[in-house]
Amino acid sequence: MSFDFPLLSLIIWLPIVFGIAVFATGNDRNAQLARLISLVGSILGLLVAIPLYTNFDSATGAMQFIESHVWFERFNVNYHLGVDGISMPLILLNCFITPLVIVAGWEVIKERVSQYMGAFLIMSGIVNGVFASLDAILFYVFWEASLIPMFLIIGIWGGPNRVYAAIKFFLYTLLGSLLMLIAFIYLYLASGGSFSIEDYHKLSIPLTPQILIFVAFLLAFAVKVPMWPVHTWLPDAHVEAPTGGSVVLAAILLKLGGYGFLRFSLPIAPDASHYLATMMIVLSLIAVVYIGLIALMQVDMKKLIAYSSVAHMGFVTLGFFLLNAYGIEGAMVQMISHGFISGAMFLCVGVLYDRLHSRQIADYGGVVNKMPIFAAFFMLFAMANAGLPGTSGFVGEFMVIMSAMKVNFWYAFLAATTLIFGAAYTLWMYKRVIFGAVASPAVEGLKDISKREFVLLAILAISVLWIGVYPYPLTEVMHTTVDQLLIHVSNSKL
Amino acid sequence: MNFIPPDFTPASSEIFMLIMVCVVMLADLTAGDNRRYVAYLLTQTTLLGCALLTFISFSTEITHTFNGMYVDDAMADILKLMVYGTVSAVLVYSHTYISDRGMLKGEFFSLILFATMGMMVMISASHFLTLYIGLELLSLSLYALVALRRESLVATEAAMKFFVLGALASGFLLYGMSMVYGATGTLHVSQLAQIIQSEASSKEVLVVGLVFIVAGISFKLSAAPFHMWAPDVYQGAPTAVTLFIGSAPKLAAFGFVMRLLVEGMGEMSADWQGMLVILAVMSMAVGNIAAIAQTNIKRMLAYSTISHMGFLLLGFISADSNGYSSALFYVIAYVLMTLGTFAMVMLLCRSGFEAENINDFKGLSKRNSWYAFIALLLMLSLAGIPPMIGFYAKLSVLQAVVNAGYVWLAVVAVLFSLIGAFYYLRIIKLMYFDEPETDEPIKPNSDVKILLSANGLAVLAFGIFPQALMGLSLYAIQSSM
């Protein structure tokens, strides 16, 4: 199949160009114009990404839509793009979330509108770049560059403790990535002067350097995912970020870490992956169980969802390191589904926060009496977060638990506790916020969701249900790629 | 006895510079107080003329003259062209600052030109004495520049400190050179390399001499533990002079290290590699950790310089053209960033107000979002975040370090640059997350406006397309070795 049009470049650069255009609208006198340009830009960004799905050949595990140009010869770095069944769904997810985030900030953001909207558009393009890069340096550049807009979003539009959260977010992620850079340089020299990720997949490396490379990658990706015990930046960042920032953080940026494991750790260091798989599984299970318990104790809604994110992402890493097809596919589905659900949960909290300016569970109660439509949506997403069958949350978790059962009963047992804990913390929060008597005069004065909010939540609700009932279109595109990845992982490269 | 005059053409730009310095001094004497711009324009013309002369005589051949004491090669030409550009930018940036503070006098320009000439000599010298003369010409001009505001106590103190420590460093350097002379009987860079290679000299004396030479170089580069003067001088000197000290001389220092260590004593690389490792690690540690505690922006940037010099030294450790070219690229990137950063500090100064505290950056994005954006690019670049040029500089140096087998050193380097990221982020935080303390508008002259914008965008543009500068660095090194 030939596809000569530089589609991936368009998907990356179109949002960035629109983002710069939004910046150019200047100060808040042109706020409405900035909003419109960014909405058009984000929707165009989604539209141009659709051919990626329709023209995708799911019969092959090779890279598609390849573009390759020399970027700088000095280190043999290429502008090399391409997608396979792992990166393509993630790009679509990102393009899908961006317009939602723009709309979510439509009325809420009143200060420095152009900078806010522009930052999100630029970040969207950068994240597409991360998923589409096939050159390690190109990947690294996009990877680090994605920190900058998020840093500013948290720091400028965030809550009272935003400065601490923003700097913690930046330094934590930078620590991991810098070691990854050294691993890249090592691989560059080991491969005789190539930064091509596909070359690294073929490279044979002795066990000790493999383990070191794995650890360097682990730090970078574990911080991003985030895995226990390097997850502590996430609750801070989430709590302080504006709603849009939380949505993007949970729905998209966490996926960068998961993607990194599939693209780098597993295929480049397969022996180290086998060697350290038990450790990874244990870390993931700690995230699932222990963080689930922590989530139960939260009094701040955003913090609760942040911890639940960590627990759900624990499922993702668990699925990866079970090292079988069900596990990896389940983890991929879980990543996509978590993108929808956590995004929706943060939007729901945002809806409440915009009205009452509080995230404390204790300040609410009886919201259903005043906001019945909202309560229905929130119910659906809470159920999905708890992993109810029929929602997308169930599919991924079920696949991962099943594959864990094949490996070890106790892995599956511990992983399955999430169905209890997840239900406990999500539904308990739901009960305290939504049901009961009307808690305060402030709640008494609540108005139900506007049309704008309705559309946002409805789109996400449809997606959650669709993947829950019929995940085939999603699993179909990734199937061949995952099989091929497993072949890579099972062949020793010593 | 026949006298054959030496070939003056390789040194034509230096000769032109010398003539023009005298012209500038004389012209300023006659111009009077209200026509100071004459000296300014003449200085810029001089730099342009030198650039043209260097550009015309550009060739890939290595030409020696003055009995082998002077050399003209591609690296020298490229470094000199960058020095002219840097000095010219320094003058544009500092014009308003110095005229507001009554420093717009002829001596400012003639001292800057003398210093520039010193740099040119350092870059082109191929004899230890010529190297030393160039270095002293630069240093003495800098001492005087720092003390230019003689009524200012801090400036005088800084100049005194600079002078005493600088003289000590020069003494170290000369002592080391004398030992090298004692061991080998020559001070010619090219002959020295041959004699060391033939092992006809006493190794012990040479190594002791080398230690002193490396110590002297570290003083001039402000690498720890010989960095003490830098924070005081950076803080005490008028910001325009700090900008000058922090930028162009680093290019010359690179040339100086290349001539002394690489071309002269390259055969002893096994000996100086170990010393440079220690210096580099200490500089990165001291620079990055001490910078966190600073509240004075100039002092913070001084420590930042120290840490960057540590990174620069890493480039030399691999002792091959790959490493040297990455060090050259690092220097170029560093000078580009420093120019912009100090220009930004001067932008915040008004007549009667010195922007010295990092809090002066507070709320810059609300006062003027464009300059805040430029400063954002510069800070991210200094922190080594892609897609800014600072990242590629770090990448190429780290690549050379790993290539030389020092993976642990690369890990140490990135950990320190992580610490470094913190204080650059703090500036971004002040600019973007905090409220301004003053709403005084920022109104630079149009030449500063254009140059500063170009400077900031260049940091980004050379980051997106780094090949040009990387290729140039590699070319400069390869064609002169």
With pLDDT > 90 as the criterion, what percentage of chain A qualifies?
Answer: 7
Asked if B425 lies within 8 A of A151 by C-beta distance, the reply is yes
| A73/B471 CB distance under 8 A | yes
Residue A494 has pLDDT above 80, yes or no: no
**Does the pLDDT value for residue B52 go beyond 50?**
yes
Average pLDDT over residues B373-379: 91
> Best residue in B314, B407, B423 to probe A by mutation, most A CBs within 10 Å?
B407
Contact A64, A82 (CB under 8 A): yes
Residues 6+ apart with CB under 8 A from A297: none
Nearest to B432 among A27, A155, A188 (CB): A155
CB A72 within 8 A of CB B470: yes
ipTM > 0.90 (yes/no)? no
- The region that residue A365 occupies, defined by phi over 0 for left and psi between -120 and 50 for alpha, beta otherwise, is left
Asked if B396's CB is within 8 angstroms of A75's CB, the reply is yes
Q: Which residues of A touch B471 (CB under 8 A)?
A: 72-74
| Residue closest to A226 by CA, chosen among A195, A196, A261 | A261
Of A478-487, B206-215, B458-467, which range is least confident? A478-487
Residues of B in contact with A19 (CB under 8 A): none
| Mean of pLDDT values over A349-354 | 87
- Asked if A74's CB is within 8 angstroms of B466's CB, the reply is yes
| Residue A1 pLDDT level (bands cut at 50, 70, 90) | very low
A305 touches chain B (CB under 8 A): no
pLDDT digits (tens, 9 = 90+) for B234-248: 998 888 999 999 999
Tell me how far apart the alpha carbons of residues A481 and A62 are, in angstroms, rounded to a whole number.
Answer: 7
Quote the pLDDT of residue B331.
Answer: 93
- What does the alpha-carbon distance between residue B263 and residue B196 come to, in Å, rounded to a whole number? 11
Query: For residue range A372-419, what is the model confidence (pLDDT) as tens digits?
Result: 888 888 888 998 888 888 888 888 888 888 888 888 888 888 888 888
Q: Can you say how many angstroms the Cα of residue A147 is from the centroid of all Cα atoms in its chain?
A: 14
Task: Look at residue A118 in the predicted model and tell me its pLDDT.
Answer: 87
DSSP 3-state assignment of A89? helix
Torsions phi, psi of A81, nearest 5?
-120, 155
pLDDT-derived band of residue B200, with 50, 70 and 90 as boundaries?
low
Q: Encode chain B in three state secondary structure.
A: CCCCCCCCHHHHHHHHHHHHHHHHHHHHHHHCHHHCHHHHHHHHHHHHHHHHHHHHCCCCCCEEECCCCEEECHHHHHHHHHHHHHHHHHHHHHHHHHHHCCCCCHHHHHHHHHHHHHHHHHHHECEHHHHHHHHHHHHHHHHHHHCCCCCCHHHHHHHHHHHHHHHHHHHHHHHHHHHHHHHHCCCEHHHHHHHHHHCCCCHHHHHHHHHHHHHHHHHHHCCCCCCCHHHHHHHHCCHHHHHHHHCHHHHHHHHHHHHHHHHHCHHHHHHHHHHHHHHHHHHHHHHHHHHHCCCEHHHHHHHHHHHHHHHHHHHHHCCCHHHHHHHHHHHHHHHHHHHHHHHHHHHHCECCECCCEHHHHCCHHHHCHHHHHHHHHHHHHHHCCCCCHHHHHHHHHHHHHHHCCCHHHHHHHHHHHHHHHHHHHHHHHHHHHCCCCCCCCCCCCHHHHHHHHHHHHHHHHHHHCCHHHHHHHHHHHHHCC
Does the distance separating the beta carbons of B386 and A72 come in below 8 Å? Answer: no
What pLDDT, on a 0 to 100 scale, did the predictor assign at position B1? 57
Q: How confident is the model at residue B279 (pLDDT cuts 50, 70, 90)?
A: very high
Closest chain A CA to residue B466: A72
Cβ of B402 within 8 Å of Cβ of A72? The answer is: no
The model's confidence at residue B8, banded by pLDDT at 50, 70 and 90, is confident
Of A484, A466, A486, give the one whose Cα is nearest residue A474: A466
For the stretch A25-47, pLDDT in tens is 877 777 888 888 888 888 888 88
Helices (H) and strands (E) counted in chain A, each on its own, are: 23, 2
Is the model's pLDDT at B175 over the cut of 90? Answer: yes
What's the angle, vertex CA B93, arms to CA B351 and CA B456, rounded to 5? 120
In whole angstroms, give the CA distance from residue A61 to residue A56.
11
**Residue range B453-471, pLDDT digits in tens:** 999 999 999 988 888 888 8
The whole-angstrom separation of Cα B31 and Cα B164 is: 35
Instruction: Compute the half-sphere exposure of residue B393: CA atoms within 13 Å on the CB side of its CA.
Output: 31
> Which one, of B222, B26, B313, B464, lies nearest residue A129 by Cα?
B464
* A108 vs B301, residue with greater confidence: B301
CA distances from residue A482 to A54, A100, A136, B233 in whole angstroms, order as listed:
19, 29, 21, 60
CB-based contacts of A4: which residues, under 8 Å, 6+ apart? none
User: Which residues in chain A are contacts of B399 at CB distance < 8 A?
Assistant: 75, 185, 188-189
pLDDT band at B113 (very low <50, low <70, confident <90, very high): very high
Closest CA to B283 of B247, B319, B324, B311: B311
Residue A149 has pLDDT above 80, yes or no: yes
> H-helix or E-strand containing A71?
strand A64-72
A3: confidence class by pLDDT, cuts 50, 70, 90: low
Q: What is the mean pLDDT of residues B334-346?
A: 92
Question: Over 80: is that where the pLDDT of B3 sits?
Answer: no
- Most B CBs within 10 Å: which of A25, A177, A178, as the mutation test of the B interface? A178
Which has the closest alpha carbon to A415: A250, A283, A279, A306?
A283
**Contact, A192 vs A165, CB < 8 A?**
no
Residue A362 three-state SS: helix
B-contacting residues in A 138-157 (Cβ below 8 Å): 140-141, 144-145, 147-148, 151-152, 155-156
% of chain B exceeding 90 in pLDDT: 38
Chain B residues lying within 8 Å of A12, measured CB to CB: none
CA angle B277, B280, B285 (to 5 degrees): 125
Q: Indicate yes or no: CB of B398 within 8 angstroms of CB of A182.
A: yes
Q: Is A215 on the interface with B (CB under 8 A)?
A: no
Contact B73, B480 (CB under 8 A): yes
Q: Are B425 and A147 a contacting pair at CB < 8 A? A: no
Question: Using the beta-carbon criterion (under 8 Å), do B433 and A155 form an inter-chain contact?
Answer: yes
